[in-house]
A and B are shown apart, each in its own frame.
Chain A
Amino acid sequence: MLRTITKRTQAVVKEGDPPPQPAGKTLKRLFAYLRPYRRWMLGTISVYMMCVIIASFYPFIDRILIDDYITVGRVGSDFLTLVIVAAILHAINFTGFGVRSLSIVRISQSLLFDLRSQLFHHVESLSFKFHESWPVGKTMSRFLSDVSTLNDFLTNQIASVFHDATSAVIVTILMFIIDPGLALIALVTLPVLFGAAVYLRPRIHKGWESVRENNTRFNIFLAENIAGMRVIQAFVREQVNFGQFRKANDTLVTSWIDVINLAVRLGPIVEVTRAAGLAAVLYAASYQIGASSKLTVGTLVAFTSYINALWGPISTFTNVYLVLQATLASAEKVFDLLDAQPSVMDRPGARELPRVNGELTLDHIHFSYDGSRQVLHDVNLHIAPGQLIALVGQTGSGKTTIASLVNRFYDVTDGRLLIDGIDVRDVTQRSLHKQIAVVLQEPFIFTDTILNNIRYGRPDATLEEAIEAAKMANCHDFIAKLPDGYETLAHERGSQFSGGQRQLLSIARAILADTPILVLDEATSAVDTQTEMLIQEALERLMKGRTSIVIAHRLSTIRKADQIVVLKDGRIVETGNHESLVSKPDGYYARLCRAQMTGEH
């Protein structure tokens, strides 16, 4: 089993830790997802800007109301008109708020959908090599948390950046309009704020990275614990695992607190610099008070509001940077996943494989999972249409590999695999898979109805056809006894069914798929004798008229094979039918038979 371990480490290196991409490139790619919605986005941002501009004028209007009307005692109809204008502006502002919020949600949800379905499509297309090395939980977290982070960035965060930037610009302009000198003084403490942000940023970013990593580890730990809870309880591991849980949680919480300790330092700096700015403005204004009387009540009110309005966006702006870092991290992960190349791909111009007769030729096949350890050495085999081939050998001898190669789940390292004389690499994988049904060692049942599970390979099959297949697979009886019959919903992985029932279901599935070639992987194990008889019977019906490649340990199955291929360490050591092989007393197969017989008696 050397192969699987090294295979994994290699895959992780290749698909998990690519060199970090430049941030600009990642962002550019990220923004491409907004392209289909650019008109909506532009419209939304325009509304946003309009709202910001209106809101920025509030203190400006208040200043006029105070200085030009109240202070001088002119509170007539002009005053009231201006108040009403201000109210109308506010109404427009809030209508805009409603509109832009709705459209942001619309864009954000559509984008989320696009990203998820693209990711799903891609993941489905990745080869086995990928799926064997990536835990399901890891892929799931790309779909859930990472995609949400990206979505939040592309919509809410971008919109708020526009909001903040516009607001900052307009406020600065308005301050200069009121009084350029005071405006300059107001901005004097800003560099301190920037300096602090520049110092803290990279440190905070690092902190979030480690939070994220710890979080992933924690989730993997949990998922496994939940899936393995029966074992944990059976082995009275509760205390030990609880300890592990505490440790994982502590690590996560500690890293979180660490980064928060850094991040909360920004708040006081914002507060102090803002107060300093305001005090400076007021002090400076007071100096001119005698001469040109700049420190009017209105100016005081306006500058207080504006400095608040300016510091608000600036302090959140530093948050945006944090969000950006988190986004980049998530984006890199999602893009890495999107960039993972299927190790098996359709050749350009690959053609459709027409319905085959099922003739298989393995021509000098060499195979290695990792490029260093040979799993198959010079395997040659010819299988006539409709033949039953039994692959025999110890665990790790290469049986499963040969079966996987027929499906082209991996590409051969050297040699060729031909179906009806056509190299499997010359045809599309889709058309190839349509010709081959697989019955797995551990049948997988989907969380769906029994009916849909049976017609999995042929979703358009009618209920009658499904029942027909179920009858042939000897599973109609138990299905009919279920409260909802064929409409019964299978639990996760079909957990309410026994191993034997799951196998019968997967046989029914293969029967209904009606393919010329069948690959059976140790499907006859894990059931009691009577069910095994049912399965054997079902399998016989299934294999009839199909080229069947069976990995089985049961002599009763092997005995019927047209050709028995005995494998040892990736080489074919014997071939022939049962009679011819048992007559070689020193042969591997003959020894195997004797082992089985002594086992029986």
Chain B
Amino acid sequence: MRRLLGFLKPHGRLVFLLAVLNLLLAGLMTVAPIVTKAIVDDVIAQQQLNRLPGYLALLFGVAGVRAVAQFFFSRERERLGQLVITDIRTALYQKLLALSYGFYDNEQTGRLMSRITSDVESTRMFLAFIVIDSLNQITIIIVMLIALLQLDALLAGIAIVPTILSGIGLYILYSRWRMIHRRIHEQNAVASSVLQDSLSGIKVVKSFSQEEQEQHKYEHAVKELRRLNIEANNRWYTRYPFIGSIPRFMQLLLIAVGGYQVVAGDLSLGALVAAISFTGLMLGAANTLGSQLTALGQTSTAAVRIFEMLDEPVRIKSPERAERIGNIKGDVEFRGVNFKYPTAKANTLKNINIRVPAGTSLAVVGATGSGKSTLVHLIGRFYDPTTGTVLVDGRDVRTVNLDDLRHQIGIVAQEALLFSASIAENIALGRPDATQEEIERAAKLAQAHDFISELPEGYQSLIGERGLGLSGGQRQRIAIARAILLNPKILILDDSMSAVDAETERLLQSAIGSVMQGRTTVLIAHRMSTVQKADHIIVLRDGEVVEQGTHDELMRGGGYYQHVLELQRMTATEAIAGS
């Protein structure tokens, strides 16, 4: 809670302004009953009609001032809300940018989205409306109590006891009630996740005609949501009326007791009327406060989740005095590297010692799950080794500036992820300042220029979410062009040619062959045709290097490599045999 209020800190001035306006508004509220008292006691009781216009002018003038104050109050409150939401969103987004791959391995897009959209929105509501408004209502209650005290101590005493009691009641009620809101939110996330799954996997849903099952799953999740919401409200509304009804009872008590006092001559009629007005205003404020508390339950859990995410440790970041590296040579070395995923039982990489001299190529071969992908991701420091060191140009990657390091590395991932933007922008992802010529040159090298030119808008064609609308091969070629454009010293190809057809692959291979010139290349591939050209080959099995050497050396080894190669040969030669 205190931390949440911390979001208001940078906007101290604005908060102060709002507090002043708030106090002004509450203070001005007391004027009307006091004027009423004067009207009752002076104008009506003593029949001094000539004083009335003056009082009315005062009433009207105060209303005018209040109107202006109200205007600024509402406007600035909204502005504060927007400033706060921007701060929180920015903090979250920066966090997202900073968090490493390890975080994303275990998080769902939908959940993260709901953090940054609905949770942030709830927090904004909480800070800008509930906090400020509740303060507003509380101020009104206090100011009214003070005004009452000025009027008559007994009446003030009658008002103060129920007010305190209802405050305590509300607090107890609220703290019990908020627990259920956490559950509601979790269930909301479940329902969204089901929805997202069915929409993203619609092709599978339809192919297996499982629409009904999906419907069932979704309805089940939404039904539970309904049940929880009803339960939460049952809890609230079966108890809240006992507290919410207190002020009017208090008002009636005031009339009864005050009535006796007036008749006894201890109190003027005007004072009683003013007291009723004061309590009436308190009543309104207390009711608003009550309904705001219901909203509070929904928002405070949201804030908790935002903090959870903001507190997520950034495991990989540039060290304090990071070494800046400009143009590197591209020498890559793994020294005694072990790696274990936090959730895994066994090490994914075991004692890896390899050196890839600048300008040479390393091919990583091995079965699925043998640790190839993990290995190549250590170079760009997307994960940190559990023990051991990864060195680039002889420097531990953990000591150099992270951005500098990654600028030197071009990665083509297994799944080509494109953004909703033009093709040109997608290719220029790592170098937004690239010229059209450079983009086209990269696209040509990646064998993507031809199909891009065929599009009606060419390089300016927009591609949709996740690059829908392009085939896997086309997307992959854009991803390759993207890496080529970077002109990196280290090129990492993570099985990048799996989704292109044979003819395109052949074209791509020669293109990549020329791109590899003068660069350190680490490639994961399954086609031996690609692998055998590498200067050095390592074979991974269960995270260990079981064989290494050049193609020729490995072919003599009679190991796994040779075995796999022969399997491939066999299928290939059979194909040839047919001709």
Digit string of A233-277 for contact with B (CB within 8 Å is 1, else 0)?
111111011100110010001001100110011011101101110
With A441-B472, A600-B528 already in contact, the answer to whether A90 and B248 are too (CB < 8 A) is: yes
Q: Is the CB of A116 within 8 A of B568?
A: no
Task: Determine if B311 is an interface residue (Cβ-Cβ < 8 Å).
Answer: no
- Please give, as numbers and ranges, the residues of chain B lying within 8 Å of A351 by CB-CB distance: none
CB distance from B314 to the nearest CB of A (A): 12
With A226-B113, A395-B501, A501-B368 already in contact, the answer to whether A98 and B403 are too (CB < 8 A) is: no
Main secondary structure of the interface of A (DSSP, over half): helix
When the two chains form the complex, which single residue of A101, A237, A271, A282 contacts B237, counting CB atoms closer than 8 Å?
A101
Q: Is the CB of A105 within 8 A of B36?
A: no
Task: Determine if B196 is an interface residue (Cβ-Cβ < 8 Å).
Answer: yes
CB distance from B542 to the nearest CB of A (A): 11
Q: Is the CB of A529 within 8 A of B66?
A: no
Digit string of B224-268 for contact with A (CB within 8 Å is 1, else 0)?
011001100110011011101100110010011011101100000
Selecting from A168-176, A190-198, A577-585, the interface stretch reads A577-585
Q: Is the CB of A102 within 8 A of B96?
A: no
When the two chains form the complex, which single residue of A112, A493, A597 contacts B576, counting CB atoms closer than 8 Å?
A597
With A227-B417, A236-B403 already in contact, the answer to whether A70 and B97 are too (CB < 8 A) is: no
- Please give, as numbers and ranges, the residues of chain A lying within 8 Å of B74 by CB-CB distance: 260, 264, 267
Selecting from B85-93, B145-153, B297-305, B384-392, the interface stretch reads B85-93
Task: Determine if B499 is an interface residue (Cβ-Cβ < 8 Å).
Answer: yes
- Please give, as numbers and ranges, the residues of chain A lying within 8 Å of B116 by CB-CB distance: 222, 226
Q: Is the CB of A234 within 8 A of B456?
A: no
- Please give, as numbers and ranges, the residues of chain B lying within 8 Å of A493 by CB-CB distance: 200
Digit string of A493-512 for contact with B (CB within 8 Å is 1, else 0)?
10110111100000001000
**Closest A residue to B45 using CB positions:** A297
Q: Is the CB of A1 within 8 A of B469?
A: yes
A266 to B75, CA, bound (A): 11
- Please give, as numbers and ranges, the residues of chain A lying within 8 Å of B419 by CB-CB distance: 224, 228
- Please give, as numbers and ranges, the residues of chain B lying within 8 Å of A131 by CB-CB distance: 199, 202-203
A241 to B421, CA, bound (A): 12
CB distance from B56 to the nearest CB of A (A): 4
- Please give, as numbers and ranges, the residues of chain A lying within 8 Å of B85 by CB-CB distance: 253
- Please give, as numbers and ranges, the residues of chain B lying within 8 Å of A222 by CB-CB distance: 93, 113, 116-117
Task: Determine if B109 is an interface residue (Cβ-Cβ < 8 Å).
Answer: yes
When the two chains form the complex, which single residue of B67, B195, B237, B380 contacts A105, counting CB atoms closer than 8 Å?
B237
- Please give, as numbers and ranges, the residues of chain A lying within 8 Å of B472 by CB-CB distance: 441-442, 522, 525
A106 to B231, CA, bound (A): 10
Q: Is the CB of A599 within 8 A of B113?
A: no
A137 to B100, CA, bound (A): 24
A110 to B506, CA, bound (A): 59
Residue of A110, A555, A592 contacting most chain B CB atoms (<10 Å): A555
Selecting from A18-26, A30-38, A139-147, A324-332, the interface stretch reads A139-147
- Please give, as numbers and ranges, the residues of chain A lying within 8 Å of B175 by CB-CB distance: none
Q: Is the CB of B207 within 8 A of A436?
A: yes
**Closest A residue to B205 using CB positions:** A124
Selecting from A71-79, A356-364, A412-420, the interface stretch reads A71-79
Q: Is the CB of B406 within 8 A of A559?
A: no
A272 to B71, CA, bound (A): 12
A296 to B413, CA, bound (A): 84
Task: Determine if B552 is an interface residue (Cβ-Cβ < 8 Å).
Answer: no
Q: Is the CB of B199 within 8 A of A102?
A: no
CB distance from A179 to the nearest CB of B (A): 15
With A70-B272, A75-B260, A274-B63 already in contact, the answer to whether A257 and B78 are too (CB < 8 A) is: yes
Selecting from A61-69, A200-208, A379-387, A542-550, the interface stretch reads A61-69
Task: Determine if B282 is an interface residue (Cβ-Cβ < 8 Å).
Answer: no
Selecting from A4-12, A39-47, A465-473, the interface stretch reads A4-12
Q: Is the CB of B64 within 8 A of A124?
A: no
A256 to B406, CA, bound (A): 38
When the two chains form the complex, which single residue of B44, B469, B576 contacts A132, counting CB atoms closer than 8 Å?
B469
Task: Determine if A531 is an interface residue (Cβ-Cβ < 8 Å).
Answer: yes
Q: Is the CB of A109 within 8 A of B465?
A: no
Q: Is the CB of A599 within 8 A of B529?
A: yes
Task: Determine if B438 is an interface residue (Cβ-Cβ < 8 Å).
Answer: no
Q: Is the CB of B248 within 8 A of A102?
A: no
Task: Determine if B11 is an interface residue (Cβ-Cβ < 8 Å).
Answer: no
- Please give, as numbers and ranges, the residues of chain A lying within 8 Å of B106 by CB-CB distance: 491
Task: Determine if B356 is an interface residue (Cβ-Cβ < 8 Å).
Answer: no
- Please give, as numbers and ranges, the residues of chain A lying within 8 Å of B256 by CB-CB distance: 79-80, 83
Q: Is the CB of B575 within 8 A of A597?
A: yes
Q: Is the CB of A601 within 8 A of B430?
A: no
A513 to B213, CA, bound (A): 15
Task: Determine if B466 is an interface residue (Cβ-Cβ < 8 Å).
Answer: yes
When the two chains form the complex, which single residue of A1, A95, A110, A526 contacts B471, counting CB atoms closer than 8 Å?
A1
Task: Determine if A165 is an interface residue (Cβ-Cβ < 8 Å).
Answer: no
When the two chains form the complex, which single residue of B75, B214, B457, B574 contacts A264, counting CB atoms closer than 8 Å?
B75
CB distance from A458 to the nearest CB of B (A): 8
- Please give, as numbers and ranges, the residues of chain B lying within 8 Å of A350 by CB-CB distance: none
- Please give, as numbers and ranges, the residues of chain B lying within 8 Å of A133 by CB-CB distance: 464
**Closest A residue to B504 using CB positions:** A395
Task: Determine if B161 is an interface residue (Cβ-Cβ < 8 Å).
Answer: no
Count residues of A near B (Cβ-Cβ below 8 Å): 174
When the two chains form the complex, which single residue of B429, B461, B503, B526 contacts A595, counting CB atoms closer than 8 Å?
B503
**Closest B residue to A280 using CB positions:** B56
Q: Is the CB of A283 within 8 A of B113?
A: no
With A300-B36, A531-B367 already in contact, the answer to whether A600 and B572 are too (CB < 8 A) is: yes
Task: Determine if B59 is an interface residue (Cβ-Cβ < 8 Å).
Answer: yes
When the two chains form the complex, which single residue of B53, B210, B509 contacts A599, counting CB atoms closer than 8 Å?
B509
- Please give, as numbers and ranges, the residues of chain B lying within 8 Å of A538 by CB-CB distance: none
With A529-B567, A600-B529 already in contact, the answer to whether A300 and B273 are too (CB < 8 A) is: yes
Q: Is the CB of B465 within 8 A of A136?
A: yes
A440 to B419, CA, bound (A): 22
When the two chains form the complex, which single residue of A2, A240, A272, A296 contacts B44, counting CB atoms closer than 8 Å?
A296
A591 to B32, CA, bound (A): 95
- Please give, as numbers and ranges, the residues of chain B lying within 8 Å of A429 by CB-CB distance: 209
**Closest A residue to B76 using CB positions:** A264
With A231-B413, A529-B568 already in contact, the answer to whether A583 and B579 are too (CB < 8 A) is: yes
CB distance from A511 to the nearest CB of B (A): 12
A409 to B206, CA, bound (A): 9
With A124-B202, A268-B67 already in contact, the answer to whether A592 and B502 are too (CB < 8 A) is: yes
Q: Is the CB of B506 within 8 A of A227?
A: no
A297 to B215, CA, bound (A): 65
A186 to B39, CA, bound (A): 18
A491 to B479, CA, bound (A): 25
Q: Is the CB of A276 within 8 A of B252?
A: no
- Please give, as numbers and ranges, the residues of chain B lying within 8 Å of A245 by CB-CB distance: 89-90, 93
Q: Is the CB of B406 within 8 A of A289?
A: no
Task: Determine if A461 is an interface residue (Cβ-Cβ < 8 Å).
Answer: no
A79 to B207, CA, bound (A): 78
A121 to B211, CA, bound (A): 8
Q: Is the CB of A257 within 8 A of B82?
A: yes
8 Å CB interface, A558-593 against B = 559, 578-579, 582-583, 590, 592-593
Q: Is the CB of A297 within 8 A of B269?
A: yes
- Please give, as numbers and ranges, the residues of chain A lying within 8 Å of B140 by CB-CB distance: none
Given contacts A90-B245, A225-B96, A227-B109, 9 further A-B contacts (CB under 8 A): A5-B456, A70-B272, A94-B245, A113-B219, A222-B93, A224-B420, A237-B429, A447-B193, A554-B502
Closest 10 CB pairs of A and B: A275-B63, A4-B469, A268-B67, A556-B571, A235-B430, A526-B498, A457-B208, A438-B207, A94-B245, A271-B67
Between A and B, 22 residue pairs with Cβ closer than 8 Å are: A1-B474, A101-B237, A120-B214, A124-B202, A131-B203, A136-B196, A140-B199, A227-B417, A230-B413, A235-B411, A268-B67, A289-B47, A300-B36, A456-B208, A498-B373, A499-B368, A499-B498, A528-B365, A528-B564, A530-B567, A582-B579, A599-B502
